[in-house]
C-alpha cells in the first residue's frame, strides 16, 4: 500500500490518505489488505486541456480534471472546484473524501470531483460562463446520471451548474436530457429548493446536535465562521437562526468581529454587494488568521483546506469545530485537538448536507417530481441528526474520535459494497 502517509500531511491528498490508513488500521483486520488497497485507489483520473477564446479576443489555455474515485455504491458524485492552485492530486483527495461522505450519509453514490485551474475572483461573468461551458463539453463523455454527477464547490455556483446543464443538453442536440447530469442547478432548470442552503444548514444541524449530545444548549453560544461563500454564509445564517451568536466572520480579503454578535443577514447583503465582509460597518476589522484563535464556543472552518494545523491547533479556543470545508484540519492538528478534548465534527459528516440534498434533487429529476423546501429541510434534519448520533455512539463505544468513527463506518460500507459486487472488474 502507498506510504504517502509518512510524508507530512500538508495537502488534501495526503490528509485523505492519512485518514484512510488510520481507518484501515482501526478496522483491525476486518477486511483484507488487497480489498483495502482496491477501495483506496482512484478508479479514473482525467486531465483535460482546452483553449476557449475569451472576451479579450485571445485563446486561453485552461486545464480541467475529473476524478472518479469509486463507483462501488453508485455513480460518482462531487463538486466542481475552480481555483488558480487546484491540482489533480487535490481533486483526487477530494474525490476520495466524497466516496466516504456518500457512504456515511447513506446515499447511493460513489465519490468523484472535478477541478478547473482558473481564478473565479478575476474572471468576468462572461469569461467564467465560457470556461464552465468548455469544461462541460470537453468533459461530457465522463459526465452522466450513471457515471459522474457534478455539483457546485469552491469557486463555482448554482448559475454555473445551469451552464453545465445547458452545455450538455445542447451537446446532445436537445433542450433537456433524461436523468440528472448535474445537481445544485437553478430551481427553474430542475434544481431543488433548499440545495443552495443545504451544506451550511447541515453544518448547523450537526453543531446543534453535538451540543445536545454534550448535554448543553446552544442558545447564546458564540461562533466564528471562516469563509463567507456558499457554505460559510449559510452556516452563519442557520446557526444564528438556531440561537447562536455569530461574533466573527472572514473571507479571503478580510475579517470582521463583534463580541456582541454580528447582524448576519445585513452582512450577507453587504458581502453580496462588495464581494467581501471587510469594512462591514456593523463590526470591527480583524486579521483573518487571528480570528481562528479568538475566544468562542464554536469554530466553523468553511473556506479551504489545511487551515487548522499543528501551528495553530494549540491556540484554538473553540470547544466544538464544525468542518464546513473539506479537509480543513490536518491529521497532526487532529491529534492535538483530540488531546485537548475539542469536539471535531468531521467534514465527511458535518458538510454532507449538500450531497444529501443533491441526492434528493437527483431523485426528483429522475422521477419528474417536485419537493417542497420544507420537505427537503425535514429530510435533511432527520438524516444529519441520525448519522451524527450513530457516529457519536460508535466513537464512545470504541474510544474513537468522531473522525475515526465516521471513517471506519464509511470505509466498511464501501468494502462491503465491493464484496457484494464481486471482483471480476
Region of 64-72, 126-134, 153-161, 376-384 interacting with ligand NAD (CB under 6 A)? 153-161
Query: Counting contacts by CB under 6 A, is residue 308 touching ligand NAD?
Result: no
Q: Which is nearest to 41 in space by CA: 70, 3, 9, 75?
A: 70
Cβ-proximal residues to 199 (8 Å cutoff; 6+ apart), any chain: 230, 231, 234, 235, 324, 351, 353, 354
Question: Sign (positive/negative) of CA torsion 375, 380, 385, 390?
Answer: positive
In the DSSP assignment, the letter for residue 79 is P
Catalytic-residue membership of 113: yes
Contact 405, 391 (CB under 8 A): yes
Query: Per the structure block, which three cell numbers stand in for 68?
Result: 472518479
Query: Counting contacts by CB under 6 A, is residue 325 touching ligand NAD?
Result: yes
Name the residue nearer to ligand NAD (CB basis): 159 or 394. Answer: 159
List binders of ligand NAD among 272-301 (CB under 6 A).
288
- The active-site residue out of 77, 101, 113, 245 is 113
Name the residue nearer to ligand NAD (CB basis): 36 or 90. Answer: 90
Region of 3-11, 85-93, 302-310, 313-321 interacting with ligand NAD (CB under 6 A)? 302-310
* Burial of 295: CB neighbours in 10 Å, binned 0-12, 13-18, 19+: exposed
Backbone angles phi, psi at 156, to 5 degrees: -125, 155
Position among 354, 356, 383, 410 found at the interface with ligand NAD (CB under 6 A): 354
Position among 14, 39, 224, 231 found at the interface with ligand NAD (CB under 6 A): 231
Query: Counting contacts by CB under 6 A, is residue 92 touching ligand NAD?
Result: no
Query: Counting contacts by CB under 6 A, is residue 154 touching ligand NAD?
Result: yes
CB-facing half-sphere around the CA of 76: CA atoms within 13 A = 29
Question: How far is the CA of 180 from the CAs of 117, 146, 190, 367, 376, in angstroms?
Answer: 25, 9, 9, 10, 18
CB 44 → ligand NAD: shortest distance, Å? 20
CB 13 → ligand NAD: shortest distance, Å? 14
Query: Counting contacts by CB under 6 A, is residue 230 touching ligand NAD?
Result: yes
Element (H, E) at 300: strand 298-301
Nearest residue to ligand NAD, scored by beta-carbon proximity: 229
In whole angstroms, give the CA distance from residue 236 to residue 251. 13
In whole angstroms, give the CA distance from residue 357 to residue 195. 6
Query: Counting contacts by CB under 6 A, is residue 190 touching ligand NAD?
Result: no
Position among 15, 70, 199, 306 found at the interface with ligand NAD (CB under 6 A): 199
Please work out, in degrees rounded to the nearest 5, the angle formed at the alpha carbon of residue 341 by the alpha carbons of 294 and 354: 75
Per-residue x/- mask for ligand NAD, residues 10 to 49, rule CB under 6 A? Answer: ----------------------------------------
Query: Counting contacts by CB under 6 A, is residue 248 touching ligand NAD?
Result: no
Query: Counting contacts by CB under 6 A, is residue 235 touching ligand NAD?
Result: no
Per-residue x/- mask for ligand NAD, residues 107 to 146, rule CB under 6 A? Answer: ----------------------------------------
Would you state the torsion angle of the CA atoms of residues 151, 414, 352, 141, taken in this order, to the nearest 10 degrees? 0
Catalytic machinery residues: 113
- Contact positions toward ligand NAD, by CB under 6 A? 79, 152-155, 199, 226-232, 250-252, 288, 302-304, 324-326, 351, 354
Amino acid at each position: 500500500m502507498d506510504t504517502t502517509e509518512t510524508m507530512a500531511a500538508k495537502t488534501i491528498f495526503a490528509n485523505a490518505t492519512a485518514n484512510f490508513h488510520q481507518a484501515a488500521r482501526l478496522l483491525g483486520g476486518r477486511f483484507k489488505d488487497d480489498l483495502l488497497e482496491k477501495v483506496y485507489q482512484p478508479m479514473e483520473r482525467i486531465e483535460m486541456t482546452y483553449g476557449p477564446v475569451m472576451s479579450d479576443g485571445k485563446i486561453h489555455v485552461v486545464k480541467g480534471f475529473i476524478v472518479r474515485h469509486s463507483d462501488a455504491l453508485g455513480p460518482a458524485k462531487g463538486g466542481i472546484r475552480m481555483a488558480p492552485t487546484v491540482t489533480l492530486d487535490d481533486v483526487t483527495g477530494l474525490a476520495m473524501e466524497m466516496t466516504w461522505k456518500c457512504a456515511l450519509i447513506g446515499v447511493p453514490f460513489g465519490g468523484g470531483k472535478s477541478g478547473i485551474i482558473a481564478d473565479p475572483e478575476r474572471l468576468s461573468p462572461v469569461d467564467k460562463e465560457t470556461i464552465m461551458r468548455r469544461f462541460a463539453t470537453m468533459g461530457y463523455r465522463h459526465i452522466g446520471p450513471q457515471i459522474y454527477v457534478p455539483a457546485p464547490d469552491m469557486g463555482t455556483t448554482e448559475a454555473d451548474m445551469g451552464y453545465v446543464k445547458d452545455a450538455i443538453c445542447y451537446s446532445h442536440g436537445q433542450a433537456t436530457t433524461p436523468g440528472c447530469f448535474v445537481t445544485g442547478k437553478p430551481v427553474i432548470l430542475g434544481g431543488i429548493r433548499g440545495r443552495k442552503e443545504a451544506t451550511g444548514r447541515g453544518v448547523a444541524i450537526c453543531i446543534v446536535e453535538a451540543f445536545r449530545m454534550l448535554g448543553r444548549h446552544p442558545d447564546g453560544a458564540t461562533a466564528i465562521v471562516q469563509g463567507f461563500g456558499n457554505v460559510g454564509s449559510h452556516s452563519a445564517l442557520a446557526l444564528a437562526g438556531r440561537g447562536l451568536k455569530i461574533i466573527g466572520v472572514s473571507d479571503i480579503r478580510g475579517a470582521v468581529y463583534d463580541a456582541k454578535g454580528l447582524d448576519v443577514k445585513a452582512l450577507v447583503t453587504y458581502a453580496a454587494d462588495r464581494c467581501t465582509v471587510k469594512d462591514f460597518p456593523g463590526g470591527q476589522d480583524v486579521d483573518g488568521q487571528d480570528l481562528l484563535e479568538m475566544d468562542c464556543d464554536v469554530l466553523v472552518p468553511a473556506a479551504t483546506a489545511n487551515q487548522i494545523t499543528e501551528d495553530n491547533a494549540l491556540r484554538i479556543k473553540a470547544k466544538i469545530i464544525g468542518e464546513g470545508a473539506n479537509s480543513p484540519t490536518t491529521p497532526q492538528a487532529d491529534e492535538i485537538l483530540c488531546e485537548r478534548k475539542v469536539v471535531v465534527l468531521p467534514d465527511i459528516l458535518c458538510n454532507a448536507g449538500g450531497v444529501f440534498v443533491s441526492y434528493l434533487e437527483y431523485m426528483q429529476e429522475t422521477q419528474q417530481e417536485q419537493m417542497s423546501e420544507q420537505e427537503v429541510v425535514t429530510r435533511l434534519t432527520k438524516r444529519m441528526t441520525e448519522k451524527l448520533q450513530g457516529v457519536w455512539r460508535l466513537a464512545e463505544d470504541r474510544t474513537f474520535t468522531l473522525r475515526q468513527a465516521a471513517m471506519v463506518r464509511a470505509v466498511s460500507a464501501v468494502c462491503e459494497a465491493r464484496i457484494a459486487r464481486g471482483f471480476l472488474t
